[in-house]
């Protein structure tokens, strides 16, 4: 059985097929977060820089995947933190790593839970002071607020 189709039909069928076929899903852009990838690189570079100055022996001699390198260096640095922040320059590099970490938390919409401080609140005198990941301090009792300095 053969029915003649009007001129142009096959093309429309192909176009229709590309719109409705399963492989159409490949055309949907993957929600790749370039900012996140760039920041991941920045995190690795910041930790590598700190480690290269403070604990050069911790850097692996052979190339390692960035995630593994980050993990290895973080473990090495945290193993002996006082040794890793002997100089003011080390402290500045450590601060850069801390900033990279808190920014990563923000990018991932993940916030570190605030930490309780042992000092009483200077306003209400209750032990209700909390320090947030960004360094800001607030009182859970009277809602006093002190922004982080520096």
Interatomic CA distance for residues 126 and 1, integer angstroms: 90
Question: By CB under 5 A, which span of 19-27, 60-68, 98-106, 142-150 interacts with Zn ion?
Answer: 142-150
Residues of span 68-127 touching Zn ion by CB under 5 A: 121, 123-124
Question: By CB under 5 A, which span of 8-16, 30-38, 77-85, 140-148 interacts with Zn ion?
Answer: 140-148
Are 117 and 140 in contact by the 8 Å Cβ rule? The answer is no
Member of 54, 58, 69, 139 binding Zn ion (CB under 5 A): 139
The helix or strand, by DSSP H or E, that contains position 131, with its residue range, turns out to be strand 129-131
The label of the residue with tokens 């009792």 reads: 141
The label of the residue with tokens 């911790």 reads: 58
**Number of chain residues interacting with Zn ion (CB under 5 A):** 7
Is residue 130 at the binding interface for Zn ion, with CB under 5 A as the rule?
no
Question: By CB under 5 A, which span of 4-12, 61-69, 104-112, 134-142 interacts with Zn ion?
Answer: 134-142
3-state class of 116 per DSSP?
strand
Q: Which is nearer to Zn ion, 107 or 123 (CB)?
A: 123
Are 84 and 50 in contact by the 8 Å Cβ rule? The answer is yes
Residues at the contact surface with Zn ion, assessed by CB under 5 A? 121, 123-124, 139, 141-142, 144
């Amino acid at each position: 059985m053969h029915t003649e189709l009007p001129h142009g039909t096959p093309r429309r069928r192909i176009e229709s097929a590309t719109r409705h076929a399963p492989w159409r899903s490949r055309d949907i852009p993957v929600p790749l977060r370039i900012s996140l990838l760039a920041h991941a690189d920045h995190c690795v570079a910041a930790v590598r820089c700190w480690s290269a100055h403070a604990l050069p022996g911790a850097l692996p001699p052979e190339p390692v995947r960035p995630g593994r390198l980050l993990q290895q260096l973080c473990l090495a640095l945290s193993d002996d933190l006082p040794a890793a922040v002997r100089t003011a320059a080390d402290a500045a590099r450590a601060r850069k790593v801390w900033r990279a970490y808190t920014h990563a938390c923000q990018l991932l919409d993940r916030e570190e839970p605030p930490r309780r401080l042992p000092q009483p609140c200077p306003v209400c005198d209750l032990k209700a002071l909390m320090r947030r990941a960004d360094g800001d301090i607030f009182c859970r009792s009277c809602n006093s607020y002190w922004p982080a300095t520096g």
